[in-house]
Structure 1
Amino acid sequence: MLPIVADSCDVGQPVPALGVSYRVRSYSPPSAQIANTYTGVLPLFEIAQVDFQALFLSMSPRDSIRVDTHASDGTWLHSYKSRPLPKAPPADPYAIHLADRFDRFRWICFDLDDKRGDTLVDLATLLRWLEEAGLTYVVAASGSAGGRHVWVTSTTPLDALLVASIAKAAAKRLPTLDHGLLCNPSTGAVRPIGAPHRDGGRSQLQMPLEGEQAAALLTPATCGNPSDAFVRLSLIIDAVPTPPNVRVRLMHEHQAQVIDDELGPRLPGTPNTTLDDETYKLLTRRPADSQVSEALASLLTKLALRRWTWPMVERLMNERRHREGALLHACTSTRRGTLRTVLTDTQAREKLARQWERCVAYAATLPLTEDSAEWTETIGGIVDLVEQVQQAADACPERWATESGPADRAALDLRCLLALRSGTTVLNLDVRRAALATGHGRSTMHRAQGRLSLDSWLAPRTSDGPAGTHELLPITASHPGFTLVARGGTQGTPPPVGGRRTSLIFRLQERLAAGQHDVFAYGRATGTHCGGLGHHAGRIYQQLNEKAERPLNLTELGQHTGYQPRTVARHLARMRNLMVATRAVMTVHHECPTCEAAPGERCRTAAGTVLKRRGADQHAARQTLAAERSGTPYYRPRPGSLVAAAKALGCFGVTASRARRYAVEIELYRWWQQEEAWMHAPKAGVRTGVQTHEDQAALILTTLPRQPRRRYPRGADGRGNHQTAKARIERRIATA
């Protein structure tokens, strides 16, 4: 251990070993030493009692501190302002910076706040982590009722990326940890040991009890904490280094750019000033007392994604309904045990500006929205591709009239819909999700994707997860409908991408929603299965629903679906018996071949007058046309009778039961994967994560990447008992 110099007048003389009582003359570090980097020089000792405030000031990584400010009534606002580094400790509450101006941390201080819960439990967990990583530490009472500060010093400055990753990983497992100061090297500061608290009291040393030993552990030269130990700490708590601000765009990856100019921090792009209903309600409605800060963060993130600028956000403060809505957190402040106090206009705008800067930085890491310029550039090609695929699929209806045709067309339509929504043709889609979206089974969707890949509609891609990855391919000469959709350029201006995309999404949504209904469940009714009309009848109903503005006859339905007329008539007869489809005879309004009168208009003579004859007000050609059409049956859908028809067939609830079964399978698979990961994990060392008692009856169903581990059921031979595990999950998933 390096010798510690305790007298500024005799700098070269070593101090006796720690733990021995001694007296040192008064200590006043020179300003140059304060502004310089840490030197390992211990400040004032008075009969084995350490002045920790002078110690922290002498080793401050910056030439400034942060001091609390007074309110008009004399209370503390808990709003720290930057002040020059003093020679003597201030009498007001103040905080010492943890990082230098190069964003390198000298100390890591874990702030456990008693307002968030029981700090003693989290303190024990944190100290166990530090001891296993081989790190020394100092524990201090922060000055509040149960708050704790755990100081960990590093011999060499630590990178902000490593400290932020440790803080974020620890915060997920320590509910009382306030990790924001460790993620913000520019303003992150903590009150040192001995500094006063705004509610009274001071921060006091708790561990170790000897002041000289604590001073040595707080000094970088004598703490004994190399940077490798902090890397071990990150591995113990499963901390993944925080990635830089990189946004994964739809077609390629670029580094996110946050523009900071005269308009303040913002994302590039044209602002969208139109607010949706959700954002408007969030802005104007007063949030719950426990969600005031969450409402402000949600609002500012939404506005940042809409490319708003700081002047636009600042103008929201001018209206009272906004200040009492989502902006309430920016306009007020709270202290423990007191009501909210209204900030001045200047203080509120400064607080809102800080929150806006944070939310813009967070929004830069989120996926692109439809308002982004990049989305408009990439979505145009996706819309063109989906239009070509749909036209080619419609040009060969016989391809979808086979036994597996309805499932293949439903899988293709689902891929097109997801491509329009996500803006990419490479999609990860598991078969269970596809089955619930189309009304087919998971095995049927798996085989349908294989058949579409063989026919060059899809192309499989490599995938790292359980979901299958396929790419929607453009139309080539190998597709049956290539000759009908491959056409040359046009002289006209194409319609806007937004309108085309919206109409395509609406049409595909309506088609898939009609095909997944319970009434079109596959199979005949048996003792164990309630059969519906089948997916072939669903395809016919889809065409009736898409052409709802005009009824279709048997010939037109056969042309759109690829079925023979007798097949269409058979399915229509069953649908008519259940009132799913009804017959419509077109005898009321017809166009006139003679005078070209539109349907609903009266016939006119050559002079333009209304035709009035004895008992006849139509031309003979129009009457002949009406007589011909009266003998041809037309059909239209009745969407309101689908539920009643499904109940009449006894197949109502098939989709809900399938969804419940798939949920059990997904949770069973996740549980077994977690058990396998635990079996292959090294058992030496500390078991991290929330642990559950072996007799705990509740199983937490969640999709979080890390969750409480529960023992997987096993048989007498030690193997996993999947039937018992499935039964336990089924008991905990509510029936519809």
Structure 2
Amino acid sequence: MLPIVADSCDVGQPVLGPGVSFGGGSYSPSSAQSVDRYTGVLPLDWPARVDFEELFLALSPRDEIGVDTLSADGEWRHVYKPQSLPETPPAGPYAIYLANPLGRFQWIVFDFDSKRGDTLVDVATLLRWLEDAQLTYVIAASGSTGGRHVWVTASTPLESALVRSIAEAAARRLPTLDHGLLCNPGTGGVRPIGAPHRNGGRSQLQTPLDEVRAAELLTPATCRNDSDAFVRLLLIIDAVPASADVRIRRIGAPVVEVLTDGDEGHRLPGTPNLTLDDVTYQLLTRRPADDKVSEVLASLLTRLALRRWSWLHIHDLLRDKRHREGGLLHACTDAGTGSLRVVLDDKDTRRKLRRQWERCVAHAATLRQTTESAEWTEQIAHVVSVVEDIQTSADAWPERWASESGPADRAALDLRCLLALRSGSLRLALDVRRAALATGYGRSTMHRAQDRLTLDSWLTARESDGPAGVTELLPIAPKHPAYDSELLGEGGGTQRTPPPTKERREALVTRLQERLSAGRADLFSHGRASLGHAGGLGHHVGRTYQQLVEHAHRPMSLSELADRTGYAPRTVARHLTRLRNLMVATRAVRVVHHECPSCQARPGDKCRTAQGRLLPGRGTDQHSVRQV
């Protein structure tokens, strides 16, 4: 039985709100009655026809609705802006918000888009789930293109977390479901039954055919859908295995974090790769098919996100008309009548493109980075080979990095090698601020180090349109006169076959990461000693420490450290003493085994047997004292 509100009117007279129209007539309470218009209570004696637009205005969970806006050409832009709740329905397209100001949903609307496939199959599947969960529903045809809206009303407002879980679970199993409106309680809205569509036609009731019954199911007070039924719905949907051909967008935690860096907006961490392959360039410059406009934009932005582009790079693409009419067409226009599209102004274009960019960056962060094309494999193999040559040549010339500016120069070179391995490109756009943070040096120091590396032919400058300087690692690095590739190379067997590219790349990345991490420790970069603090050990001591970290699996002798760092033995000994005083390094004790087969002596003792008996003189086999 429908609820009744009685005031000064006759007992049993139902109240919906003053002036609510039903078809040709209208319903008004007695003139002596003062009733809040938005009561959400329906009358008992419904007329034969129901004005659903008035019904939704009366049941609106907010005091505002979203109204579509017109372009300069008089076309609907499909951009809904909030307006105060009107007394009468707007003449153009508008949407009713699904959640109240607290973010709790009054309606769950499953929006099926015919552009994604056959909506009727997915609607039938959803209806089975709803009936199993004992939930009532109302179906409406959203327009003339075959889309469907399935309205499910909640007796009490639902938490957004529960609604989002239901929407994501259903989207993984229903390919034509557009679940984005259920994931955003702030702006999620749907055109109500009876509201006009921007391309013509109106949203029409389909099930149930009895409009009075449909009005009861759309009203929270009479729908009889409690919160437990929605929990059952979630359990029922999750019990159904997801189809193999439906991509699951969220797979646990993102593989790569998403950064937000001031004006650069959302981006993936790493150095941007500004060179485009043929496929990405064609997506950017060629006009997409009319039914692939949004798909091309999503594919293009995802590719650019994986290349570590930022919002500033994406925004610059709008300057070229070919880009606006090519891959960015979806962001610069709205769907019009037929194949015609409505051009957006610059402000709306930027807002729409930035919204799509942030979505694609978040999606790119969840993608696995192990899928590599043949082109990428060939490119990364070349980069790994060049970095190996650079590192081998740099290690063979230790005196170059033992000079006053040597540690900063080597850190700048190692950082560029690491970024090249990560990005798969020898051409790098690296500003001095990020270089300073990554190496532990100052910005001016990194700037001068880049100039010195360029003069020594380790790097070469390239043209740059952005704030960061672009440099390229040279494939042929300078070599020390004593460099011998046969002596220093590390072969993979008797035929000197190198290991696979992936293993070589991972080993180089690990080695460079450990070296840079050790070099930027505060112990070495805390400045000179003063009255205020003890100061750091300096970056030259840090170079010695880097060698100890790199060969932490075995002890190193003083002479080996001197050969690898390029410092004199006295300098290396002084570095080790300072490290030992701070308990960063320790002296390794190694026993020199001799030829006494049964010697049980401790270090410093004469050779003895297990019974404690001194061995007789045996010439060169006998040691008077065991050495350490």
TM-score by length of 1: 0.46
Contact 1:138–1:207, Cα closer than 8 Å, also in 2: yes
Kindly provide the CA deviation profile for residues 575-629 of structure 1, in whole angstroms up to 9, marking residues without a partner as x: xxxxxxxxxxxxxxxxxxxxxxxxxxxxxxxxxxxxxxxxxxxxxxxxxxxxxxx
2:318 is aligned to 317
The answer as to whether partners of 2:154 and 2:220 remain within 8 angstroms in 1 is yes
Change (3 A) 1:258 1:55: farther
Distance 1:141 1:378, change over 3 A: same
CA distance in 2, matches of 1:287, 1:423: 45
CA contact (8 A) 1:111 1:150 kept: yes
Q: In structure 2, what is the equivalent of residue 194 of structure 1?
A: 194
Contact 2:75 2:342 in 1 (8 A): no
Match of 1:113 in 2: 113
- Call closer, same or farther: CA 1:487–1:58 in 2, change over 3 Å: farther
Q: Which residue of 2 aligns with 1:57?
A: 57
Deviation at 1:11, TM superposition (A): 10
Q: Where do residues 31-46 of structure 1 align in structure 2 (5 Å cutoff)?
A: 39-42=39-42
- Which amino acid in the other structure matches residue 144 of structure 2? S
Structure 1 pair 65–414 and aligned structure 2 pair: CA distance change class (3 A): closer
Amino acid at match of 1:340: R
Q: How far is 1:116 from its partner?
A: 3.4
**Residue 136 of structure 1: how far off its partner (Å):** 1.0
Q: 2:3–2:221: 8 Å Cα contact kept in structure 1?
A: no
Correspondence list, 1:709-720, <5 A: none
Decide whether aligned partners of structure 1 residues 136 and 287 sit closer, same or farther in structure 2, where only a CA change above 3 A counts: same
Counterpart residue number, 2:27: 25
Q: Return closer, same or farther for 1:206/1:272 CA change in 2, 3 Å cut-off.
A: same
CA separation of 1:189/1:282 partners in 2, compared to 1, >3 Å: closer, same or farther? farther
Counterpart of 1:571 in structure 2 is none
Partner of 1:275: 275
Distance in 1, matches of 2:216 and 2:360, equals 40
Post-superposition CA distance 1:58-85 (Å, at most 9, x none) = 2222222112233445443333222221
Matches within 5 A, 1:85-96: 85-96=85-96
TM-score (ref. length: structure 2):
0.53
Matched, 1:165 2:165: yes
**Structure 2 counterparts to residues 194-343 of structure 1, below 5 A:** 194-238=194-238, 248=254, 258=260, 263=263, 265-267=265-267, 272=272, 274-277=274-277, 281-282=281-282, 284-289=284-289, 290-304=291-305, 308-335=309-336, 337-343=338-344
1:163-197: CA deviation from partner (whole Å, max 9, x where unpaired): 23332332343333222322333322111112122
8 Å contact kept, 2:195–2:202: yes
1:79 corresponds in structure 2 to 79
Residues 487 and 274 of structure 1: CA distance in aligned 2, closer, same or farther (over 3 Å): farther
2:79 aligned partner, one-letter code: S
CA distance in 2, matches of 1:357, 1:210: 44
State the Cα deviation string for residues 556-589 of structure 1 (Å, max 9, x = none). Answer: xxxxxxxxxxxxxxxxxxxxxxxxxxxxxxxxxx
Residues 266 and 304, structure 1, Cα contact 8 Å, conserved in 2: no
Residues 486, 126 of structure 1: CA spacing in aligned structure 2 closer, same or farther, 3 A cutoff? farther
Separation of aligned partners in 2, 1:102 and 1:359: 28
Q: 1:410 Cα deviation (Å)?
A: 6.1
**Structure 1 residue 27, shift from structure 2 partner:** 6.6
| Structure 1 residues 310 and 414: CA distance shift in structure 2, 3 A | closer
The verdict on how the C-alpha distance between 1:51 and 1:323 changes in structure 2, with shifts beyond 3 A counting, is: same
Q: Which amino acid aligns with 1:281?
A: Y
In 2: Cα distance, 1:28 partner to 1:293 partner: 53
- Distance in 2 separating the partners of 1:111 and 1:204: 14
2:62, 2:97 within 8 Å by CA — same for their partners in 1? yes
Distance in 2, Cα, partners of 1:142 & 1:120 = 13
Maintained 8 Å contact 2:13/2:43 = no
Report what 1:344 is aligned to.
345
Q: Is 1:44–1:54's contact at 8 Å kept on the other side of the alignment?
A: no
Aligned residue pairs: how many?
Answer: 410
- Equivalent positions of 1:375-394 (< 5 A) are none
Q: Secondary structure at the match of 1:173?
A: coil
* Partner Cα separation in structure 1 for residue 76 and residue 14 of structure 2: 40
Question: Separation in 1 of the partners of 2:358 and 2:239?
Answer: 25
CA distance in 2, matches of 1:217, 1:485: 85
The aligned amino acid for 1:67 is V
Name the CA distance, whole Å, in 1 between partners of 2:201 and 2:122.
Answer: 23
Q: CA deviation at 1:125?
A: 1.3
Residue deviations 1:116-140, cap 9 Å, x none?
3333222211111110122111112
In structure 1, how many angstroms separate the alpha carbons of the residues matched to 2:216 and 2:90? 23
Q: Distance in 1 between matches of 2:275 and 2:34?
A: 54
Q: Percent identity?
A: 52
Say if 1:265 and 1:309, in contact at 8 Å, map to a contact too.
yes
Residue type of the alignment partner of 2:125: T
Which secondary structure does the structure 2 equivalent of 1:136 belong to? coil
Q: 1:33 to 1:274 in 2, by over 3 A?
A: farther
CA contact (8 A) 2:255 2:366 kept: no
Cα 1:307/1:9, change in 2 over 3 Å = farther
CA distance in structure 2 between the aligned counterparts of 1:345 and 1:356, rounded to whole angstroms: 16
Indicate how the Cα distance of structure 1 residues 108 and 330 shifts in structure 2: closer, same or farther if over 3 A, else same.
same
Report the Cα distance in structure 2 between the residues aligned to 1:102 and 1:423, rounded to whole angstroms: 52
1:353 corresponds in structure 2 to: 354
For 1:177, the aligned partner's letter is L
Please give the per-residue CA displacement for 1:220-268, whole angstroms capped at 9, x wherever unaligned.
2322222222222222222899999985568xxx8x5545x5x274248
**What does 1:90-105 align with in structure 2 at a 5 Å threshold?**
90-105=90-105
**C-alpha distance in 2, partners of 1:476/1:271?**
29
CA offsets 1:523-582 (integer angstroms, 9 cap, x no match): xxxxxxxxxxxxxxxxxxxxxxxxxxxxxxxxxxxxxxxxxxxxxxxxxxxxxxxxxxxx
Give secondary structure in 2 for the equivalent of 1:221.
helix
1:553 corresponds in structure 2 to none
User: Would you say 1:139 and 2:145 are equivalent positions?
Assistant: no
Q: Is the 8 A contact 2:14 2:43 kept in 1?
A: no
Residue 272 (structure 1) shift:
3.0
Aligned residue identity for 1:323:
R
Which secondary structure state, in structure 2, belongs to the residue aligned with residue 201 of structure 1?
Answer: coil
Q: Secondary structure at the match of 2:222?
A: coil
**Structure 1 vs Structure 2 CA RMSD:** 5.1
Aligned to 1:565: none
Say whether the 8 Å CA contact 1:265–1:360 is kept in structure 2: no
3-state secondary structure, aligned to 2:87: coil
- Structure having greater relative contact order (Cα 8 Å, sep ≥ 6): 2
Following TM superposition, by how much is the alpha carbon of 1:348 offset from its aligned partner in structure 2, in angstroms? 2.4
Partner of 2:452: none
* Cα deviations by residue, 1:475-509 (Å, 9 ceiling, x for unpaired): 889x7x87699954889699xxxxxxxxxxxxxxx
CA distance in 2, matches of 1:485, 1:12: 103
Instruction: Give the 3-state SS of the residue equivalent to 2:300 in structure 1.
Output: helix
Q: 1:307-334 CA deviation, whole Å, 9 max, x = no partner?
A: 6554443332121122122211112222
SS where residue 221 of structure 2 aligns? coil
The whole-number CA distance in structure 1 between the counterparts of 2:192 and 2:162 is 23
| Cα distance in 1 for residues equivalent to 2:302 and 2:227 | 35
Displacement of 1:419 after TM fit? 5.5
Task: After TM superposition, list the pairs within 5 Å mapping 1:686-705 onto structure 2.
Answer: none
Deviations 1:331-358 (A, max 9, x none): 2222363333433334323322332343
Structure 2: distance between partners of 1:143 and 1:397: 68
Offset at residue 361 of structure 1 (A): 4.0
Deviations 1:409-451 (A, max 9, x none): 969x9655456579999xxxxxxxxxxxxxxxxxxxxxxxxxx
**Shift of residue 152 of structure 1?**
0.5
Relative to structure 1, the CA distance from residue 375 to residue 204 in structure 2 (aligned partners, 3 Å threshold; closer, same or farther) is farther
Q: Mapping of 1:403-442 within 5 angstroms?
A: 415=503, 417-418=505-506
> Closer, same or farther in 2 for the Cα pair 1:277/1:349, shift >3 Å?
same
